[in-house]
Structure 1
Amino acid sequence: MSAVPVRADGDGRTTVSLAELLALRARVGRVRPLPLDSRAARAGQQASRLYGRGMDYAESRVYQPGDDVRRLDWRLTARSGELHTKLFQEEREGRLLILLDTHASMHFGTRVRFKSVQAARAAALAGWYAVRAGERVGAMAFGNGQHLIKPRGGARGAVTLCGALADWGAGAASRGNDEPLSDALARAGRLHGASRVLLISDGLSCDEAARARLREVARHARVAVLVVADALERELPPPGRYPFEHAGERREVSLEGMRQRSEFQHALGAGQARLVALAQSLGLRWRSIDTAADPLAAVTALLGARPAR
């Protein structure tokens, strides 16, 4: 396995700590992995039924016009007196693509760590979980930078992901890179091979056009959404004066009355509310976590198989 590039590590609060991302492997190792897909032939393998060029025999059925005559099941045909075609099952290695929001809005947090750091931790856990189950893992950043790492398997794939997350998190938050979610999904849609997609975002980049783009991505891959929010975006803040610092400027907001506090929370939480509503309307799996939570449970719930109905 190649060595991890040496870089100045983050503090784990406002910037990503590479050491922590790598150490998360041990936490995932103590989790009993759920099956990644109820239709998977085995861990990390996505099964698709094809005619002809496959690897393993699946079953035979009555011949239909257009079937490859080279795949006729002559034994069953002789027994039944009716033409039957063999169906084969081709097995493909599962691929998880993580879409990571790196907008400036992610560099915010009032509890424990920034949303950007929490998002990186969740992405690393997802990577370690996926490769442990036999999948390849890749990632695409959108917002404060447009980066891509192609899916790779095994521990090397997860280490590559952690290194990329640390690099992306080390970039200073900036204005002007306001890539809407719809554009990011369009870029993701042009990538081929992902069997599953995990979107990690605070939702502030969620725009009207994202609905159609997300629906299109979901046609080709299983999509899950993890919403990362600060405590002030999820709950009504208690009365008080709140200092904020942005781009070197420090300001203080006074929130005393119920109306002030409600409007403030509504404004801050608008992004996560839009993204949750979008995921719900499309029937996608979703979870929401704050910056102080342990993201492991949410990640495993999103990546595990749906319970049988």
Structure 2
Amino acid sequence: MSAVVPNRVDGDGRACVSLAELIALGARVGRAKLAPTESRAARSGQQSSRLYGRGMDYAESRVYQAGDDVRRMDWRLTARSGRLHTKLFQEEREGRLLVLLDTHASMRFGTRVRFKSVQAARAAAVAAWLAVRAGERVGMMAFGAHDRLLRPQGAARGALAVCGALAEWDVLPAMDGAEPLSAALLRARRLQHGASRVLLLSDGFSADAEARQHLLELKVRAEVGVLVVADALERAPPPPGRYPLEHAGERRDVVLLGERQRREFQQALGSGPARLEALAHGTGLRCRVVDTRDDPLAAVGELLGVAGMRR
């Protein structure tokens, strides 16, 4: 996919995704170092383990065992210790990141700085730039209002393809209906393409009870991180006042004065983010919450296990 979105005026970065901003985020990402992933191949007990094979990365040496490849002998350690030792090498595997992007109508909401949909796009772009700078390939799947897939690509073209897709998908007409998170996760497992990392970007309103099992199954195959995207009104009760809200071209004023009224309003409005955060913690996944005012760089970097990131 080209990073250029044809016949489109670039968005303002507030209600609509700005392609220029997404591309510019690449300049803020240094030469990233992602923590190494472990093999997630299913085995007895579903435990993960490092694979050792004939790759290029030396891992360690151990005492020679019958059947070891004599071409892998560690002669220096053998001479020093007086016992035969074999070199072990960590199997080299090209890392792949799959970004799962929530595009439900609830994401097109925001009271501070930008819509949640725009913040999610910024986080996805940061993740893409971090991945390709670390030598990994990156792909993306949209769920909710759009059903789209971007195949994994590497190097700068991979990040640019993600940026272009984010801008293009942002202006597509929304599909009818909704897609529960469980259905999206099932689709992601089928389209995983050997991804070693998965990053879910969502406000949580699509999270359902069945999603828990699908997250656990996805966790067996990849390292999964969850970035909960929320609005300020979804995270804390607002100050007393009159709040104009607009939906589908209709504008209404919501008057919030009493403490209980404001608390109940926030709890109802923030039920999605709270549900997804609880789901992530309940399944043992890395989870961070950002609102529409935040810089997503640190949160995304933490979820991807970035070390030595230059801001």
1:249-279 Cα offsets, whole Å, 9 max, x none, are 2222221222211111001111111111111
Partner of residue 183, structure 2: 183
Task: Map 1:146-161 onto structure 2 (within 5 A).
Answer: 146-161=147-162
Per the alignment, residue 10 of structure 1 pairs with: 11
- Taking a change above 3 Å as real, the CA distance of residues 104 and 39 of structure 1, as seen in their structure-2 partners, is closer
Distance (Å, rounded) in 2 between the aligned partners of 1:74 and 1:184:
45
Describe the shift of the 1:2–1:150 C-alpha distance in structure 2 as closer, same or farther (beyond 3 A).
Answer: closer
Q: Distance in 2 between matches of 1:222 and 1:118?
A: 22
**Deviations for 1:71-92, whole angstroms, at most 9, x for unmatched residues?**
467979x999x99987553201
Q: Give CA-to-partner distance per residue, 1:44-71, whole Å, 9 cap, x none.
A: xxx95246x655675566658xxxx584
- Residue aligning to 1:49: 51
Distance in 2 (alpha carbons) for counterparts of 1:215 and 1:275: 14
Structure 2: distance between partners of 1:224 and 1:216: 14
State how 1:82-231 maps to structure 2 within 5 Å: 88-173=89-174, 176-190=176-190, 191-231=192-232
CA distance in 2, matches of 1:74, 1:164: 46
Residue pair 1:99, 1:199 contacting (<8 A) in 2 also: yes
Q: What TM-score, normalized by structure 2, do the two folds share?
A: 0.83
C-alpha change, 1:39 and 1:216, in structure 2 (3 Å) is closer
1:269/1:22 CA distance change after superposition, 3 Å: same
- The yes-or-no answer on 1:36 pairing with 2:24 is no
Aligned residues: 292
Task: Give the residue type in structure 2 aligned to 1:49.
Answer: L
TM-superposed deviation, 1:299: 1.3
Counterpart secondary structure, 2:142: strand
Q: Give the whole-Å Cα distance in 1 for the aligned partners of 2:240 and 2:187.
A: 43
Output the TM-score relative to the length of structure 1.
0.84
Hey, what's the Cα distance between the residues in 1 that align with 2:72 and 2:229? Answer: 57
Q: Equivalent residue for 1:238?
A: 239
Which amino acid in the other structure matches residue 138 of structure 1?
G
* CA drift at 1:16: 0.4
Which residue matches 1:44?
A: none
1:43 corresponds in structure 2 to none
C-alpha contact 1:97 1:140 (8 A) present in aligned 2: yes
User: Deviation digits for residues 92-115 of structure 1, max 9, x if unmatched?
Assistant: 111011101000000000011100
Structure 1's 3 and 150: CA in aligned 2 closer, same or farther, altered over 3 A? closer
Q: Which one-letter code corresponds to 1:98 in the other structure?
A: V
**Matched residues in 2 for 1:137 and 1:303: separation?**
12
Distance 1:38 1:270 in 2: 35
Q: Which amino acid aligns with 2:51?
A: R
Query: Which structure carries more relative contact order (alpha carbon 8 Å, separation 6+)?
Result: 2
C-alpha distance after superposition, 1:150-182 (max 9, x if no partner): 1111100000000000011112456x3310111
Shift in CA distance, 269/103, structure 1 to aligned 2, threshold 3 Å: same
Secondary structure at the residue paired with 2:29? helix
Question: Residues 236 and 3 from structure 1, CA distance in 2 versus in 1: closer, same or farther, beyond 3 angstroms?
Answer: closer
- Are the equivalent residues in 1 in contact too, given 2:198–2:223 (CA < 8 A)? yes
Paired with 1:131 and 1:39, the residues of 2 have a C-alpha distance of 15
Mark the CA change 1:3 to 1:140 in structure 2 (over 3 Å): closer, same or farther.
Answer: closer
SS of 1:93 mapped into structure 2:
coil
- 1:244-259 correspondence to structure 2 within 5 Å: 244-259=245-260
Contact 2:5/2:168 (<8 A) preserved: no
**1:280 maps to what in 2?**
281
Q: 5+ unaligned residues in a row in structure 1: which ranges?
A: 41-46
Counterpart code for 1:156: R
Contact 1:38 1:305 in 2 (8 A): no
Q: Contact 2:73 / 2:86 at 8 angstroms: preserved in 1?
A: no
Q: Structure 1 residues 146 and 28 mapped into 2: Cα distance closer, same or farther (>3 Å)?
A: same
1:139: how far off? 0.6
Identity of paired residues, percent? Answer: 64
Return the alpha-carbon distance in structure 2 between the equivalents of residues 203 and 14 of structure 1. Answer: 20
SS at match of 2:194: coil
Asked whether the equivalents of residues 122 and 296 of structure 2 are also in contact (C-alpha less than 8 Å), the reply is yes
